[in-house]
Amino acid sequence: MDQSKIDALRALPVPAFHHLIDGKHVPASDGGTLDIISPIDGQVLTTTAAGTAADMEAAITSARAAFEDGCWSSQAPAARKKVLMKWADLIEANALELAVLGVRDNGTEIGMALKAEPGSAAATIRYYAEALDKIYGEIAPTAGDVLGLIHKEPVGVVGAIIPWNFPMMIGAWKLGPALAMGNSVVLKPSETASLSLMRMADLALEAGLPPGVLNAVTGEGRVVGETLGLSMDVDVLVFTGSGGTGRRLMDYAARSNMKRVYLELGGKSPNIVFADAPNLDEAAKVAAAGIFRNSGQVCVAGSRLLIEAPIHDDFVAAVAKAAEAMRVGDPLRIDTHIGAVNSEVQLTANLGFVDTATAEGGQIVTGGHRILQETGGYYMAPTIVTGVTRDATLAQKEVFGPVLGVTPFATDDEAISLANSTVYGLAGAAWTANLSRAHRMIKSVRTGVMHINTYGGADGTVPVGGVGQSGNGSDKSLHAIEKYVNLKTAWIKL
């Protein structure tokens, strides 16, 4: 990474952003705009269109028309592949520009953003482009006088509602398989991180995606997101975000056309450290990175640290040392480890969780407060709270900030019981040199992803998805494709 190139890009003014509907950039139908505040300094960076219900309806109409027209849905797979491969190339070619724009919008440290945003988005789009002409239908094992064929058809119009923590990465997790299978998509980025994703959508058209196959509408979730959710013309909704919004989406589906709804809703993931872990120093550093990178705004963040009692104090000290060594600050400096919290609302919520944790008996080991206030930006010191009991708010509710709650345990059974004591089930980890114990943890901890002797970093070959109130369905890997196809049976009398 070259600091001077980053500095040059951050000095560029950011133009006002419009919707992308039917291949054209259009303002909101009533001319409304939303101020986009950069979390780096709290200043207005630019504006986006504040979409109206009519804007969203126009986008859905365009997506439906493109789907029925067959310009994409009926294209030969090899032709779709070519466009998606080109799109991945364009994302890569513009990676630094996209990453810097995204960081100015959402505050993620540039080192992580470059890899996790354009880097991961390009890899994801390429993965599904490469896969799409290797996915076959089936011939059923029927009696000889009939032929049973199972076709995989695109579902039609997909509505994709995206959060602010990794807009390009999570956007690509939905767009890659949806477009690869021939669907049209209406994208709704988050109010507080839409710019890089909107730019990425433009690149899809530049790569040759026909107008209308991908539309993107910015604005308030409760306006344009609700219209998307309630539409009679959207066949599948895919979402990453909060549980509250996830519930609403299910309600919208029930009140409209019973569209399929796939939710990824975050978690309260347990990171379980046994005294026999192969390398406790390494475990402490990875545990710190696993909660504090991107200011803890990671759905799979290891936000609950469960430590075997005999090593509790030493391990907490090692994690605190690692946390204090992480440089928090300007996310566009390449030597920054932790950037800005996405918004003032999120920062205030994080600090509220710390107050509640101490009121409920927790002790702050390090952090616990806002820092760098003089910059005008939203920065928080990595925070560790010990003495967090099983039912404490910090053990039960997702903070989505740089706040780690610590709880000791005495036995394997207690570790499993604590790990499974929330409504969530997205990710987790166990650190141990004992193979049998590791497998027992994999089987017994209720999660979608279980790490052993590491935390995070699973690539696109494996699914990520939650159980319990962490959601349903998976992103990533070939399994994600199931969300974007209908199975159609052809039963033929011979």
Residues binding ligand TXE (CB under 6 A): 161-165, 188, 190-191, 221-222, 225-226, 229, 240-242, 245, 248, 264-266, 299, 398, 400
Q: Given the complex with ligand TXE, which of 165 and 432 has the nearer CB atom?
A: 165
How far is 63 from 228, CA to CA, in rounded Å? 12
Q: Which helix (DSSP H) or strand (DSSP E) does residue 121 occupy? A: helix 120-131
Which position among 117, 299, 308, 398 bears the catalytic label?
A: 299
Which residue type does 492 have?
I
Rounded to a whole number of angstroms, the minimum distance from the CB of residue 489 to ligand TXE is 33
Ordered DSSP codes for 303-358: -EEEEEGGGHHHHHHHHHHHHHTSPBS-TTSTT-SB---S-HHHHHHHHHHHHHHH
Rounded to a whole number of angstroms, the minimum distance from the CB of residue 222 to ligand TXE is 4
Rounded to a whole number of angstroms, the minimum distance from the CB of residue 286 to ligand TXE is 20
Q: Given the complex with ligand TXE, which of 217 and 316 has the nearer CB atom?
A: 217
Q: Pick the closest to residue 87 from 206, 213, 210, 212 (CA basis).
A: 206
How far is 47 from 122, CA to CA, in rounded Å? 26
Q: Which residues fall within 8 angstroms of residue 222, CB to CB, at 6 or more apart?
A: none
> What residue has token string 């909101």?
28
Q: For residues 424 and 266, is the Cβ–Cβ distance under 8 A? A: yes
On the 0-12 / 13-18 / 19+ scale of CB atoms within 10 A, 391 is exposed
CA 329 vs CA 117, 242, 340, 472: distances in Å: 19, 26, 7, 35
Rounded to a whole number of angstroms, the minimum distance from the CB of residue 234 to ligand TXE is 12
Q: Given the complex with ligand TXE, which of 229 and 368 has the nearer CB atom?
A: 229
How far is 122 from 168, CA to CA, in rounded Å? 9
Q: Given the complex with ligand TXE, which of 23 and 221 has the nearer CB atom?
A: 221
Q: Given the complex with ligand TXE, which of 289 and 415 has the nearer CB atom?
A: 289
Strands 363-366 and 383-386 turn out to be antiparallel
How far is 481 from 483, CA to CA, in rounded Å? 5
- Rounded (10°) CA dihedral 228, 230, 234, 240: 50
Q: Given the complex with ligand TXE, which of 240 and 477 has the nearer CB atom?
A: 240
Q: Given the complex with ligand TXE, which of 248 and 437 has the nearer CB atom?
A: 248
Q: Which residues fall within 8 angstroms of residue 318, CB to CB, at 6 or more apart?
A: 280, 281, 284, 285
Rounded to a whole number of angstroms, the minimum distance from the CB of residue 301 to ligand TXE is 9
Rounded to a whole number of angstroms, the minimum distance from the CB of residue 266 to ligand TXE is 3
Q: For residues 21 and 217, is the Cβ–Cβ distance under 8 A? A: yes
How far is 101 from 41, CA to CA, in rounded Å? 14
How far is 400 from 349, CA to CA, in rounded Å? 9
Provide the phi-psi class of 431: left if phi over 0, else alpha when psi is between -120 and 50, else beta: beta
Rounded to a whole number of angstroms, the minimum distance from the CB of residue 244 to ligand TXE is 7
DSSP β-bridge partners for residue 472: none
Rounded to a whole number of angstroms, the minimum distance from the CB of residue 374 to ligand TXE is 25
Q: Given the complex with ligand TXE, which of 41 and 226 has the nearer CB atom?
A: 226
Task: Give me 446's structure tokens.
Answer: 């209720």
Rounded to a whole number of angstroms, the minimum distance from the CB of residue 230 to ligand TXE is 9
Which position among 109, 264, 308, 398 bears the catalytic label?
A: 264
The percent of the chain in helix, strand and coil, each rounded to the nearest 5, is 45, 20, 35
Q: Given the complex with ligand TXE, which of 264 and 308 has the nearer CB atom?
A: 264
Q: Given the complex with ligand TXE, which of 80 and 293 has the nearer CB atom?
A: 293
Q: Is 71 an annotated catalytic residue? A: no
Rounded to a whole number of angstroms, the minimum distance from the CB of residue 18 to ligand TXE is 17
Q: Is 299 an annotated catalytic residue? A: yes
Q: Which of the residues are catalytic?
A: 264, 299
